Structure 1
Amino acid sequence: MRKSERRLALVRMLTENPFATDEKLAETFGVSVATIRLDRQALNIPEVRERIRRVAADRQDEVRALDAHDVVGRIVRLELNRLGISELPITSLHVFARNGIVRGHVLFAQVNSLAMAVMDEDSAVTAKTELRFYRPVRLGETLRARVDVMARHAGILKCRAHTEVDGETVLDGWIWVARASARTWEGQD
């Protein structure tokens, strides 16, 4: 196997298994450990300990309060009871046919489902919202939503919701999500 082919295969293999050691890689490719280290250096691939640390840092929590496919947009980051980030590329399914502007309920659905996904409960519902829309979003743009948990009281999370397109705010406000079994939702500010 030529060096260029081996390096491509090395990248592919480490993408699939970032925990592979230099010794295992050397055995797989039939080369010395020193050759693997030189290949990794040339490709700017860190040693196994650093790869493991990065994988651990990139680990996300799993959605509990609803099915992951019910979250509107693709979850980029999720830390239960702390924060959630999602992205949603706007297609023709999300806009009014006449003017290409995103339907308001799509903007709401993204932050609302993300707020419920952040809750570390088996089931959650929306208790209250205070949202402001700043500008229309158009076909072809990508929404990036972020929900941060600001307070928790009696099974209710108060979340800051913010959505932007290319760094420009399009939606901002608050969403309160409650554990589905929470008895009272009123008076939670």
Structure 2
Amino acid sequence: MTRHHKQERHQALIEEIEKNPFSTDEELAQRFNVSVSTIRLDRSNLGIPELRERTRAVAHEAYDTLKSLEEQEVIGLLTELKVGQMGRSAMLIEENMVLDKARVARGHHLFAQANSLAIALVDAEAAVTGSVDLKFLRPVHLGETVIAYGKVIKRKGNKYWVDIKAQVNQEDVLIGHWILFGFKAEINL
């Protein structure tokens, strides 16, 4: 490969990782039609950390802004959060999350990721889900990473309307509309 192509690939790699910091080396290799070792060498030359480090850096900022949940209550990894506006989380589907026979994610795991993201968007000390209109669009398989996007559509007093969309490789797998209620937390010791 000529130097010119390498420079173009480097620029495209930087842009792709900025757009989706959770891309694995394998996904990037497939996207750029090169070997995984080439992607790793490119990342190293460009000073781009491996997936685990990129994920940690992105998540650290998001968790600092959490209001309505504790960090351990978030299902998946919170990667972006602007309370009262929008957020994003990622969840890798692991062995303990799938149905034994079908090898697809159990629906309650996908719902839990989306629901905790919706609650995290509420600008209050605590929040509860009032109602949800939810559609599962396709099964999610073992090893796939689900990226959930949430956006506050409307707020009236302590009532929030939130839309959540979950995707795998930019394909919708779940969409839902939440109504949530924010309130002041009571501490009973």
Q: Identity of counterpart residues, as a percentage?
A: 33
Superposition deviation, residue 68 in structure 1: 1.2
Can you give the 5+ residue segments of structure 1 that lack an aligned partner in the other structure?
Answer: 1-42, 46-54, 182-189
> Residues 44, 166 of structure 1: CA spacing in aligned structure 2 closer, same or farther, 3 A cutoff?
closer
Task: Give, in whole Å, the separation in 2 of the partners of 1:146 and 1:176.
Answer: 16
For residue 96 of structure 1, give the secondary structure of its aligned residue in structure 2.
coil
Q: Spell out, residue by residue over 1:99-144, the C-alpha distance to the aligned partner (whole angstroms, 9 max, x if none).
A: 1111111111001001101112111000110011100001010000
Aligned position for 1:162: 165
Cα displacement (A) at 1:180: 3.8
- Given the alignment of the two structures, is residue 68 of structure 1 paired with residue 62 of structure 2, yes or no? no
Alignment correspondent of 2:98: 95
* CA shift in 2, pair 1:80/1:99, >3 Å: same
What is the Cα deviation at residue 179 of structure 1?
1.2
CA distance in 2, matches of 1:140, 1:119: 30
- Given the alignment, which residue of 138, 141, 148 partners 1:138? 141
- Give the secondary structure class of the aligned counterpart of 1:106: helix
Tell me whether 1:147 sits opposite 2:155 in the alignment: no
Moved over 2 A (4+): 58-61
Between structure 1 and structure 2, the one with the greater Rg is: 1
Distance 1:112 1:180 in 2: 17
Cα drift, residue 173 of structure 1: 2.0
Scaled by the length of structure 2, the TM-score of the pair is 0.63
C-alpha distance in 2 between matches for 1:173 and 1:59: 26
Report the CA distance between 1:44 and its aligned residue.
7.4
CA RMSD of aligned residues (A): 2.0
Q: Does 1:110 align with 2:101?
A: no
- Aligned pair count reads 128
**TM-score, with length taken from structure 1:** 0.63
